[in-house]
A and B are shown apart, each in its own frame.
Chain A
Amino acid sequence: MAESRALKVWFILIFLTIVSYGFAHMGYTGQVLVAIVLAGAWIKGQLIIDYFMGLKHVRMLWRVIVSAWLLIVLLAIGGMYFTYG
């Protein structure tokens, strides 16, 4: 990965972190906040997996294991929040 791409990924990660924080700080709660924050966490997590951990170009199995962990954990958390509030 080139230095410029690493910097772009860093910028997106920081931007999404501030967006998530901003929505919570503005007083958003419930399903809207949960959906925004979890979507942000998913994008950020996948960027870290692909570009920081460098799993984008390794054997599919390894990338799938870590990506599936992220998706399953976030979906399960989202499911609990959407079901019970």
Chain B
Amino acid sequence: MSAEIPLQATRIVVTNKKELPGDFAIWMFIFAELLVFGVFFLTYAIVRSNNIELFNQSQLLLDRGLGLINTVVLITSSYFVVRAVLAIQKNESTRCVFWLNLSIATGMVFIFIKIFEFYSKFSQGINLSTNAFYTYYISMTFFHFMHVILGLVILTAVMLKAKRGGYSAMDHTGVETGASYWHMVDLVWIVLFPLVYLMR
């Protein structure tokens, strides 16, 4: 008996569904990061359920206005990154660099505001061991803060390469990779901000 596969039995599946934007490896990293942040958020909610009054009282000492500004800043930074990707898809390297610079600048604003917030809390004598709320507030926001810094390092590396003409409409995986990571940082903050600053 022949082992040949009849031609009629073979079929090429044509699909217009695209693969993930950017490098596949960054997405494995993003999925892992989302999982870690998800566990953080759920444990915060669980611990809060046993200390509702403590959490509600401690939350009142946070500066919600700064949280709001930082949310607007991060969303805007994410928008600038979207524009950078759209620019390089049209082979507009200079515009791509321009939008990346704007996203890095707004990311820096987030960093400065967060440092001010941390400084303000530490100078009031508040630290990780003050109470359960501040253990979570400082841990989660600092963990996110570190991701913002890493995101800025990635965006800066992408911007410098774009400045040297390292990307084009045909080859811009690096820009999409950096953008994907930056949007993950934004997505996590979209949950973190209401959880820590608003819900009571």
Contact = CB atoms under 8 A, between A and B. Distances in A.
A81 B47 CA distance: 11
B41 A73 contact: yes
What secondary structure prevails in chain B residues at the interface with A? helix
B86 A6 contact: yes
Interface string A34-57: 100110110011001101111101
A40 B48 contact: no
Contact of A52 (B17, B48, B79): B79
B45 A80 contact: yes
Given A59-B19, A73-B42, A53 B183 contact: yes
A14 B18 contact: no
Interface of A: 1-3, 6-7, 9-10, 13-14, 17-18, 20-21, 24-25, 29-30, 33-34, 37-38, 40-41, 44-45, 48-49, 51-55, 57-60, 62, 65-66, 69-70, 72-74, 76-77, 80-81, 83-85
Interface of B: 17-21, 27, 31, 34-35, 38, 41-42, 45-46, 48-49, 52, 64, 68, 71-72, 75-76, 78-79, 81-83, 85-86, 176, 180, 183-184, 186-187, 190-191, 193-195, 197-200
